Amino acid sequence: MSTNVLYDAPGPKSRRTSRIISVVGVVLVLALVAYVAYLLGRPRVSANGAVTASVLDPSRWDILLDRNLWRNIGRGWLATVQAAAVASVLAVAIGVLFSFLRTARTAWVRVPTTIVLEFFRGMPVLLMMLFILLVFSTGAFWAVVAALAVYNGALIGEALRSGIASLPRGQREAGLAIGLSPVQTRFAIEFPQAFRQMLPIILAQLVVLLKDTSLGYIVGYVELTRQGLNRLGTSYGSTYTFTLFAVVLVVYLITNLLFSYVVRVVDRRTGRRGVVRTKGGGGLGGPGLLARAGRPNIPATTGAAGGGGGGGR
């Protein structure tokens, strides 16, 4: 009898079917890759009969040796990182403000905040950029930064609110018991714990913010996408469009993968600190930040110890 409570162990027929499906899936994926390579490798013939070299032809990749290309790509990358950094700081600050107002006890503060927050969460980021640019005439940089900060700040605020709601009630009661005001209790006791709980979610949202800076292409901000595909595309010509697209794609992938790696490292380190250890060495709660260290360390009481103590008395 299987010890798995979710499903029984697969029998010979199920294992054979699983192997067949796996082999067919691998063959289909390899066929798709081969077809894409064929499309990229064949020359292109235009309507007037002119033949263009294939995308994989070395003549279409020689610009990778041009220093001016990488200098301009680096300039666009710095513009992307600059906008993302400023928007990230503002988004966290706005998120803290939203979460504080969202958890207020008075309805005249909490209800309007909820309406504003839901409005910002439901509004597309690109429309927000265009609105800020056209109405406030802030320029492309601040239109991108403000829109990303407000939108992601609303999402971070909801994450912090969820983190505060997940804390034990004793955390707040303990702060009030030692003479702290409700505001002091919120900022000194609840916010640090909620922020630490939701740190992976916040960092993951900042990764999304970094990728959303590419929307600045529409409002005229010269970030990595606009620098690589628009300006360099005009300089080098349409022959190198796919090459420039590949370069921008690789730079974005490397940047996001590095940031995602930092998120995973932070999650593991804060997760180890967040596990509550009992006297016997066991941990309460699973890995990750949701295993809180704020709970008291209560030693386990075994039945044998209790019985022995009672019998002695």
Distance CA 184, CA 203 (A): 26
- In our burial notation (b when 16+ CB lie closer than 10 A, e otherwise), range 130-149 reads bebbeeeebebbbbbbbbbb
Distances (CA, A) of 261 to 77, 79, 280: 19, 22, 33
Q: Considering Cα of 213, then 214, then 220, then 224, what sign does the dihedral take?
A: positive
CATH number for the segment(s) 61-277: 1.10.3720.10
Count of CA atoms in the C-beta half-sphere (13 A) of 86: 13
Residue 52 — very low, low, confident or very high, per pLDDT cuts 50/70/90? confident
Cβ neighbours, 10 Å, residue 41:
11
Scanning the structure block, which residue is given the tokens 């796919």?
242
Mean pLDDT of 262-286: 56
Please count the other Cβ atoms lying within 10 Å of the Cβ belonging to residue 282: 10
Reduce the DSSP state of residue 52 to 3 states and report it: strand
Please state, in angstroms and rounded to a whole number, the distance separating the CA atoms of residues 120 and 111. 15
DSSP codes, 174-205: HHHHTT--HHHHIIIIIHHHHHHHTHHHHHHH
CA 22/CA 28 separation, integer angstroms: 10
Average pLDDT (160-167) is: 87
pLDDT over 50 (residue 276): no
- Choose from 41-45, 209-213, 271-275 the range with maximum mean pLDDT: 209-213
pLDDT at residue 310, as a whole number: 44
What is the distance between the alpha carbons of residues 228 and 234, in angstroms, rounded to a whole number?
Answer: 10
**151 to each of 33, 62, 140, 221, 232, how far by Cα in Å?**
38, 41, 17, 18, 31
Residue the block writes with tokens 């309507």: 47
- Residue 142 confidence (pLDDT) above 50: yes
Eight-state DSSP code of residue 301: -
pTM, full prediction:
0.73
The pLDDT tens digits for 201-240 are: 888 899 899 999 999 999 999 999 999 988 888 888 888 8
Euclidean distance between CA atoms 98 and 170, whole angstroms? 23
CA distance 163 to 270: 15
Tens-place pLDDT, residues 114-131: 899 889 988 999 999 999
Sign, CA torsion 106/111/114/119: negative
